[in-house]
Amino acid sequence: MVTTSPALQVEGLHKSYGDVVAVAGLDLEVHTGECFGLLGPNGAGKTTTIEICEGLLASDSGTVRVLGRTWDDDGRELRELLGIQLQDTQLAEKLTVDETLKVFQSFYSESRDVGAVIDLVELGEKRHARVGTLSGGQKQRLAVACAMVGDPELLFLDEPTTGLDPQSRRQMWNLVSQFRSDGKTILLTTHYMEEAERLCDRVAIVDHGRVIALGTPAELIDSVDFSHLPPPEPRKTHATLEDVFVSLTGRTLRDE
Partner 1 sequence: MSDAAALAEVLREKRAQHLTRRDRGFKGLPLVQLTLVRFREFVREPEAVFWTFVFPILLAAGLGIAFRQQGLEQLQVGVVSRPGADTSVVAAMRRDSTLVLRAYDDSAGALALRTGKVALLVIPGMARDSVQYIYDRGRSEAASARLVADRAVQIGAGRVDPVRSSDTYVSEKGSRYIDFLVPGLLGMNLMGSSIWSLAFAIVVARSKKLLKRLMATPMSRFQYLLSFLFSRLFFLIIEVVTLIGFGYFAFDVPLRGSLAALMLIALLGAVSFGGLGLLVASRAKTVEAVSGIANFVMLPMWVFSGVFFSSSNFPEAVQPFIRLLPLTAVNDALRANMLEGASLAAVSPQLLVIVVWGVVSFLAALKLFRWR
Handedness of CA 191, 71, 151, 201 (dihedral sign): negative
Task: Decide if residue 72 touches partner 1 (CB under 8 A).
Answer: no
DSSP secondary structure of 143-186: HHHHHHTT--SEEEEESTTTT--HHHHHHHHHHHHHHHHTT-EE
> Which of 180, 153, 176 has the alpha carbon at shortest distance from 69?
153
Q: Is residue 5 within 8 Å of residue 67, measured between CB atoms?
A: no
Q: Which stretch binds partner 1 (CB under 8 A): 6-14, 36-44, 97-105, 214-222?
A: 97-105
Q: What residues numbered 129-148 form the site for partner 1, per CB under 8 A? A: 146
110 touches partner 1 by CB under 8 A: yes
Q: How far is the CB of 162 from partner 1 (least distance, A)?
A: 15
**236, HSE (Cβ side, Cα atoms, 13 Å):** 11
In the complex, minimum distance from the CB of residue 89 to partner 1, in angstroms, rounded to a whole number: 4
Backbone φ and ψ for 228, nearest 5 degrees, come out as -100, 10
**Binding residue (CB under 8 A) for partner 1 from 2, 76, 167, 230:** 76
Residues binding partner 1: number (CB under 8 A): 33
Q: Least distance in Å: CB of 155 to partner 1?
A: 12
Kindly list the residues in this chain that would bind partner 1 in the complex (CB under 8 A). 54-56, 76, 79-80, 82, 84, 86, 88-92, 94-95, 99, 102-113, 116, 146, 150-151
